[in-house]
A and B are shown apart, each in its own frame.
Chain A
Amino acid sequence: MESADLSQHTSRRFNEDMERVTTRVLQMGGFVEQQLNRAVAALVDGDSALGEEVARDDYKVNRMEVEIDEECSRIIATRQPTASDLRVMVAIIKTITDLERIGDEVEKVGNIAARLATMEKPADNYREIRHLGRLVTEMVHDALHAFARFNSVGAFVVARRDGKVDEEYEAV
């Protein structure tokens, strides 16, 4: 009885941890998406101040990655999650790695936008860049949306419950 209480307690703590971490991942993703939008705008509008600002703000993305990463390591070490929970943690760690790299690329686009702003625009007015920018922005948005949807419908809890159901099924 006592051990059942304890495991419930651990499980609730883990859920709280997960909720906090996934919220932060979504915040990080939202910020990266905003950076991307601003970098493309800086480029096509020839706005050098905006390009510089985007490049300067990349440190915020890096900081978020480090913080979330540390939090994940802490959760894995202290809660010793089960296989299905662990899968979620690993996916989060990989996701923030990619978000951070997107941030790095955006920083480069921001720097280039700042440099190009003083030049004459090409004849097609960056038509290709606009198009490509729209495509990748959509991809980043959709990927984050998939993550958010998985989170918001309580799917983490569902996935965990599913793991428990499996365990119980095996016990029977």
Chain B
Amino acid sequence: MSIELSELRLHAREMGTLVAQQVETAVRALLEADGEAAELVLRREQRVNAWQTDIEAESFSLLARQAPVASDLRTVLAISRAVTDLERAGDEAKKIARFALASAGHGVGGPTRVIRRSLRHMAALASESMRVAVDALDRGDAKVAQEVARLDREIDHEFESALRQLMTVAMERAPRLLKPVFDTVFALKGLERIGDHAKNVAEHVVFLVSGDDVRHAGKSRAVPARELQH
């Protein structure tokens, strides 16, 4: 395996570790009404984005200059794809941090308090599955996929349970309309995400035509990840 490919794997792993940290810190910020922790997540989000830009440039250059085949090719493609997911997971952590920051002034709020055990558990599971997955990506170990799938089922289970607890609490105030209200929120959420994805598709077209990476444009993409680390 070439030095460049080893480096690429290492970088994907570092990015994944950073994202796992982001998830943990964001949820801690929420649970402890810690505004500083929330701001830390928001600052580090720039590093996550910078990693994505860097790793994708590395992948592309590797494909173009070394024309890898077989398992090396699959590794590069898998890393490019994983980086997209890592960045999106980072985005979700950022949103949690924003929520934490917005509510930090008022102490730990009602609904959040009710499901704090679930939140803590979900954050631990999510960051663990992230670590396991990027570790597997680095080592090229497909066996742990089952382990990650198991963790994911556990997260889903906890999510359902947290949702039930929330509904029970809110139901005491708002009666039978509650379930539809929640469902509508998720529908809205789904639609909102679709807008994001459509934007991504359009950005891929820009990349395809010009080679310009326009994601994170106007934010902090000019700062390389390695500089931001120090």
Contacts and interface: CB of A to CB of B under 8 A. Distances in A.
Interface of A: 36, 43, 73, 76-77, 80, 82-83, 86-88, 90-95, 97-99, 101-102, 105-106, 108-109, 112-113, 115-116, 119, 122, 128-129, 132-133, 135-136, 139-140, 142-144, 146-147, 150, 155, 159
Chain B: interface size category:
35 or more
Interface of B: 60, 63-64, 67, 69-70, 73-74, 77, 80-81, 84, 180, 183-184, 186-188, 190-195, 197-202, 204-205, 207-209, 211
Contacts of B67: 80
Indicate the member of A80, A101, A155 with the most B CB atoms within 10 Å.
A101
Given A77-B69, A94-B80, A139-B202, 16 more contacts: A83-B64, A94-B207, A95-B205, A98-B200, A98-B201, A105-B197, A112-B184, A112-B186, A133-B191, A136-B198, A139-B199, A140-B194, A140-B201, A143-B199, A144-B201, A146-B205
A132 B198 contact: no
B208 A98 contact: no
Query: Interface majority SS on A: helix, strand, loop or mixed?
Result: helix
A28 to B, nearest CB: 11
A128 B185 CA distance: 11
B73 A76 contact: yes
A99 to B, nearest CB: 7
Nearest to A36: B194
Contacts of B192: 132
A82 B67 CA distance: 9
A142 B195 CA distance: 11
20 contacts: A77-B69, A77-B70, A80-B67, A87-B208, A93-B77, A93-B80, A97-B81, A105-B193, A112-B187, A129-B188, A136-B194, A139-B195, A139-B198, A143-B199, A143-B201, A143-B205, A146-B205, A147-B201, A150-B209, A159-B209
Contact of A94 (B69, B195, B200): B200
Given A73-B77, A139-B198, A90 B63 contact: yes
A119 B198 contact: no
Given A73-B74, A102-B198, A115-B183, A93 B207 contact: no
CB-CB nearest 9 A-B residue pairs? A91-B208, A139-B198, A143-B201, A105-B190, A143-B202, A83-B64, A98-B197, A91-B204, A146-B205
Contacts of B77: 73, 76, 93
Given A136-B198, A143-B201, A116 B73 contact: no
Contact of B204 (A95, A115, A132): A95
Contacts of A102: 194, 197-198
Contacts of A144: 201
B171 to A, nearest CB: 15
B210 to A, nearest CB: 9
B204 A94 contact: yes
Given A87-B211, A93-B77, A98-B200, A129 B205 contact: no
